[in-house]
Amino acid sequence: DLKSGEIIKKGLTTHGSGSEATSSDSLIFSNIPNSYCSSLGIYKIGSAYFGNFGRSYKLHGLELTNNKAFERAVVLHRYSCVPDDEQSYPICNSLGCPMLSENFFPEIDEMIKGSSKPILMEIYYWLTWNSEFLFLFFFHQSINNERNTRHTYFDENEKKG
């Protein structure tokens, strides 16, 4: 909830297998087709369809860092290898899609289906001295101008990858 700052729902997500840097502890990001990387930035959640992972959502990248998402077939979907709780070992990777657990996806699906306004999703990355996090942040398009602009910091990191 952007007005109260409260987290309404939380769950784990994956990053693209191409985002794993072999020579460092941080992730890399790319908007290049067939890179299998995650792409940072804001996405408009598009139409639902039924594919290999059941109900899924097409994603439309709205920034230079992710504007090829639709062309790359980056979609929001569930996958059985994504756990519900944090693990002490790495979880599975995607081919660039944000994947949610079998139990968490229906919660997000209901939020998307129940909205009368378009839903935007932001993927951003936060690296600290001892941890790294890849976040999905959902919000209504109508409050886009009120959201925090922290993603511009991560756009600078995008240029490295």
| Amino acid, res. 148 | N
**Rounded Cα distance, 60 and 71, in Å:** 9
pLDDT digits (tens, 9 = 90+) for 57-99: 999 999 999 999 999 999 999 999 988 888 887 788 888 899 9
CA distance 31 to 64: 8
Q: Which one-letter amino acid corresponds to residue 98?
A: P
Identify the pLDDT of residue 161: 34
Say how far apart CA 94 and CA 123 lie, in whole Å.
14
Tell whether pTM > 0.95: no
Spatial separation of the C-alpha atoms in residues 106 and 56, rounded to whole Å: 10
95-130 as b/e: b if 16+ CB within 10 A: bbbbbbbeebbeebbeebeeeeeebbbbbbbeeeee
- The rounded mean pLDDT for the chain is 78
Rounded to whole angstroms, how far apart are CA atoms 157 and 161? 7
Which tokens belong to 135?
Answer: 């976040």
